[in-house]
Structures are given as structure tokens and as C-alpha cells.
Chain A
Amino acid sequence: MKGNVIKYARDNIDTDVIIPGQYLKVHDYSELALHAMEGLDPDFHSKVKEGDFILSGRNFGCGSSREHAPIALSHSGIKAVLALSFARIFYRNAVDGAFLLPIEIEEDAYSNISEGDEIDIDIHTNEIKNITKNKTYKMKPFSEIIGKIIEAGGLFKYKPD
């Protein structure tokens, strides 16, 4: 899975800045996407491209349980969020609805990958290749359940063994 990185070098990106509260009444996902990250980066919508990734620090997606957060990012074209850690509800929402991949990374990937870098994520080998910088980093593997839900294509397609 290849794409370019939009980097927010900070911790605690909360769901209120990912999709501010006034848009929780919007049911049209493409309209929701117009307001993704509006609380933090009003230029996000104009710069994001289909297949991009977001890179950020610790506790990404903290706050509200709104599934609108991964939906807004996903319908903006974001395929994965790479972060040092995630808030649990955002993480499960991303996976349950098969909206995007929440990928936990280590400090080296976080500090080394820059805005605009092209990277290639392989969730089978748990490796992230930085094509721009010709470097490789490890990602933390998904736990068993998360891996299975992702493989199934979401919570409702997941069937236990």
C-alpha cells in the first residue's frame, strides 16, 4: 500500500479537531469529508489526495466515540493513520467499519518520515518502506482480533473460527 504522508507532529489529535461537533448531524460521507481535520488544519481538504497517509504522535483520535472521525478521513482519501499510539475507540472504529488502517509505529519512523515522503506499508511483513528516503521501519503488528477483522473487511464480515 503506497502513498504520501501528511504529517502532524504532535500528540493528542482529538476527534473534535478531526471532525468538529457541528458536523455530527451530516449523514452524507462526501460532505463530511469536506470538513475533515477542519479544527486543526483548514487546508487539509485542499491538500489531501486519494491514497495519502496521516502521520502523527501519541494518543491519536482521543476524545469522543464519533465514528464520523475515521469516516471523514477515509472519505477524504486517507488509507491509513500512522501514529505512536491510538485512543481505543478511534482505533476500533477505524477497523470495525473498514474505514482505514490504524498503524502503530515506533519513534524512528515517527521522527524520520517527513511531510510529503512516499512510503509503502506492508501489513503482512509489518514493514514500512520510506521510498523517498530509502529507509525501512518496523510497524507494530496488529493483535489477532484486529488482524482478523481487517482481513474480513470489517466487524460485520468477521466470522469467528
Chain B
Amino acid sequence: MGKTLFEKIWDAHIVVEKENSPSLIYIDRHLVHEVTSPQAFDGLRMNNRPVRRPDLTIATMDHNVPTNNRSLPILDQTSAVQIQTLEKNCNDFGIQLFDINSPNQGIVHVIGPQLGITLPGSTIVCGDSHTSTHGAFGALAFGIGTSEVEHVLASQTLWLEKPKPFEINVMGKRKNTHAVTAKDIILSIIKNIGTSGGNGTVIEYRGEGICDLSMEQRMTICNMSIEAGARAGIIAPDEKTFDYLRGRKYTPKNYESLVDYWRDDLKTDSDAKFEKNYTLHINHIAPQVSWGTNPGMTCDVTESIPFPEDFSKGDQNQKKGAEKALEYMALKPGTPITEIKIDRVFIGSCTNARLDDLIEASKVVKGRKLSQHVRAMVVPGSQMVKKQAEELGLDKIFTDANFEWRESGCSMCLGMNPDILSPGERCASTSNRNFEGRQGTGGRTHLVSPVMAAAAAIEGHFVDVREMDLN
């Protein structure tokens, strides 16, 4: 019987395998950031262990870096200490670090592909759940905890139970590729399969609707696999993948011969079997807006806030969850999504802060002004994205419309740096999680695409971006 793409990569990385036992899997690339690594380095020191492969380990600081003027000192002392600790750890253990002043600094899942560190067929880990992003390149990439970070630093391997392959077919073509985005595809998938629909699996996204996407859009899809509960998401590499990585800073010297191998080998065999299947037809999907406190609580922009009993389809826990969510979000069932007013807009995060995202959002903003009662931030995913965007004049388009144009980092995705919501504030956000308090205690998050966030910023409430005249 044939193998799925994920199974081929898994098999190629087995160091030790015995029947009915976990496998010891070799890790090709280890990405490190300031928040989930300090205890791991402490563990190495305590046991007098070196980092086994510093050359396969790359670090940056993204989670708690401020996104305002980089020449100013970091005011939050605990953040400053965590950042200094990473500098010291990288220095002590010989690890390449892209620090706060580096032109390569950025969100770890944005810089990996940009620097050519992310490669098809490789295994990639990071102490961050959104490591699934790198699966867009046909890599097996997943988030790990700090104990596992220490294990990888020490041994370049992990003991793992093999996940099951899950096939998600995305069929059809989007009618309006500007207004209906990769974010709307992945939110639609999570809405349908649920936040635990992918538990224990690696999702392979396939079909015409995936092949049509750019690399940056594919990253948005794989990024949110974790929001469906999956271990990882993966997309078979194709010419777009090979073109994207060609000539980047760390792309290997023998790149073309690797491409020949990837082209032939890195795909699911026609007779391979998946444990699970789901198909999404995208001909008619609408822009999505989340209304609740997990990414599965999402609906079309043309719909109204659902009644908990309709949403739950008879499941008591789901009903209770929806009621609590609406209470937290201060929303009434039956309210049209387009009547929801917003206070803040965040365009950024490892889900949607790449050049494509900013270009598309700028088309909505160009020649318009931010709604007077809204504060909006644009936070490029990396210094490189920021520079490219500025070369295209995007910064000017945003600042002319009264949006803030900021330095790169995780920013308002996770409420652990100065960019946070105040209690009760409502935000249209291009990030990945709408959990209670995620963007700051008492903050209310609605997940949307960059173009939907930009449109909401202009109008002061959600609008169907398909109806906006873009000249």
C-alpha cells in the first residue's frame, strides 16, 4: 500500500522504531524564541549538556518585544530579562540569534520560510503551537513544550507517537480572490470540523482550492491547523514552493538537486489511505467572522449571531459554551454581524502578517480614512516584510489613513507585550485565537482576514468586503 506525504517524511526520520512502541524521530530544524526556551537551557546547564546541533538551531525574539520605536529601552523589566536571557543562552550555546536589532528579526514562523530555513521534506519543531505554519512547504512541522525543547536541544530527536493522516480536500474556485481569502477557507474548515476535529492527526490539505493559493496563503491555512486540534498541517510542495525558496539566505547550495528529489518523492501516493476525510467546496464561501471564544465559533459575514441552541445542535456542552461565549463577547443572538461595532483593529500575527496580506489590506485602505472611533495597528510579521512593504509604499497608504505602522513581532496576538486590548474593547483581528483574554484581560476578539479587518477599520463595524468599491 502507498504512503501519505506525512508518512513518507515520518519514515525518513525514524532513528529508532519498534512495534507497539513510540518512535524516536530526528529533527532537522529547531526554531527557538524567548518565551518557551529559558527553562530548557537551564535544564541543559544543570545536567552539563551542550546543544547537540547548534547549526540546526535558530533563534529570534518575537513574543514580548515591543513594536514601537526600537531605539528605546524595553520598559517592562520581566520582558527585558527574558530577551536578555535568550541572548545569553544563544551566546553560551553557540546558537545563531536574530535579535531585536537584526534585519532578519521577526515572528519565528514568518522568518523561517523567508530565510529558507524551512525546507520541504524536513522535520521542524519550535516551542510554539503555530509551528504548523511551516507545513505549507511540505515539511512535517509541529509545536512542542519546553521539556521537549530541552530534549531536542540535547539530542536533536523526540520520542513521538505517530499521528494519523487526515485528508482535507478543498474543491472549487473562489469567485472573488481578493475578498475571500485563505483565512476564510481555514476558518470555514474549523467551523465545520470543530476545534478538536483534527485531534491526533496530521491534516494534508489538497485539491484545486489549495493548489491555487500562493505560498503565503498556504501558510495561513497550515498555521491554523492547530486551531482544529491537529498536530500539524501539510501541503505537498509544487513549483510555487520551489520558486519561493530558491535563492534565499539559507537555501542549501545543492538546491536544484533537492528540488528534483522533492518533485518526484514528496507527494501522497495514489493508493495511500487516510484515516479521515473532509471536503470543503469553496465556490460560494463568504468572508468569515468569529463571534465567540474559540475559532470554531465562526459564521459568514452575511449571517447573524447564532442562537446557542441552534449552534449546539443538541450538545449540552456546546450550548453552555456558546452561552458563556456570548456573555463574554457581550453579543445578542440574532444580531447581524455587520451591525457589530469595533474599537480596535489588529493586522498582524504569524497567521496574517506577510507581504501578500499587507498588499491586499492596503487595497481596501487606499484613499480612505480610518473610522474616527477606531484605533488600528498594522504590524508586519518581520523586519524583511516591513522593508518590502515600505518599498511598495504600503506604510504610506496605511499611515495616510491614520493606521499605526509598527515594528515586527507577535504584538497584539497574545497579550504578553505592550500591545493589548483594554477590558471590554472589541477588536477585528487577523490573528488566530479568540480565547477569553487572549489579546488582554477582558478584550473581545473577532477573527477575520486582513481585507475584512481593513474594511471594518474604515467603516467602524464589520462589512462584507465583497461589496466595497476598490476602484
For residue A38, give the distance in angstroms from its CB to the closest CB of chain B. Answer: 8
The reply to whether A59 and B195 contact each other, CB–CB distance below 8 Å, is yes
The reply to whether B145 and A92 contact each other, CB–CB distance below 8 Å, is yes
The reply to whether A144 and B317 contact each other, CB–CB distance below 8 Å, is no
* A67 contacts chain B at the CB level, 8 A cutoff: yes
Supposing A59-B229, A87-B199 touch, asked if A11 and B318 sit within 8 A by C-beta, the answer is yes
Residues of A within 8 A of B161 (CB): 143, 145-146
Supposing A24-B35, A92-B148, A96-B145 touch, asked if A144 and B196 sit within 8 A by C-beta, the answer is no
Residues of B within 8 A of A154 (CB): 147
For residue B161, give the distance in angstroms from its CB to the closest CB of chain A. Answer: 6
Segment of B17-25, B451-459, B461-469 in the binding face: B17-25
The reply to whether A156 and B147 contact each other, CB–CB distance below 8 Å, is yes
* A34 contacts chain B at the CB level, 8 A cutoff: no
Residues of A within 8 A of B195 (CB): 12, 59, 62
Number of interface residues of A (CB under 8 A): 44
Segment of B114-122, B265-273, B374-382, B435-443 in the binding face: B435-443
Supposing A16-B438, A65-B127, A145-B22 touch, asked if A10 and B38 sit within 8 A by C-beta, the answer is no
For residue B257, give the distance in angstroms from its CB to the closest CB of chain A. Answer: 35
**Contact pattern, B 41-58, Cβ under 8 Å of A = 1, otherwise 0:** 001000100000000000
Supposing A9-B317, A10-B324, A156-B151 touch, asked if A64 and B129 sit within 8 A by C-beta, the answer is yes
* B415 contacts chain A at the CB level, 8 A cutoff: yes
For residue B196, give the distance in angstroms from its CB to the closest CB of chain A. Answer: 4
* A52 contacts chain B at the CB level, 8 A cutoff: no
Residues of A within 8 A of B359 (CB): none
The reply to whether A17 and B435 contact each other, CB–CB distance below 8 Å, is yes
In the complex, which of the residues A87, A143, A145 contacts B229, with contact meaning CB atoms closer than 8 Å? A87
* B211 contacts chain A at the CB level, 8 A cutoff: no
* A58 contacts chain B at the CB level, 8 A cutoff: yes
Residues of A within 8 A of B321 (CB): 10-12
Q: How far is the CA of A14 from the CA of B227 in the complex (A)?
A: 11
In the complex, which of the residues B21, B78, B145, B435 contacts A93, with contact meaning CB atoms closer than 8 Å? B145
* B144 contacts chain A at the CB level, 8 A cutoff: yes
Supposing A16-B433, A66-B36, A88-B200 touch, asked if A21 and B147 sit within 8 A by C-beta, the answer is no
Supposing A65-B129, A87-B199 touch, asked if A158 and B36 sit within 8 A by C-beta, the answer is no
Spell out B's residues near A (CB within 8 Å).
16, 18, 20-22, 24, 35-36, 38-39, 43, 47, 63-64, 76, 78-79, 81-82, 127-129, 143-148, 150-151, 159, 161, 195-196, 199-200, 226, 229, 231, 294, 317-318, 320-321, 324, 414-416, 420, 433, 435-438, 441
Spell out A's residues near B (CB within 8 Å).
9-12, 14, 16-17, 20-22, 24-27, 39-40, 57-59, 62-67, 85, 87-89, 92-93, 96-97, 143-146, 149, 154-156, 158, 160-161
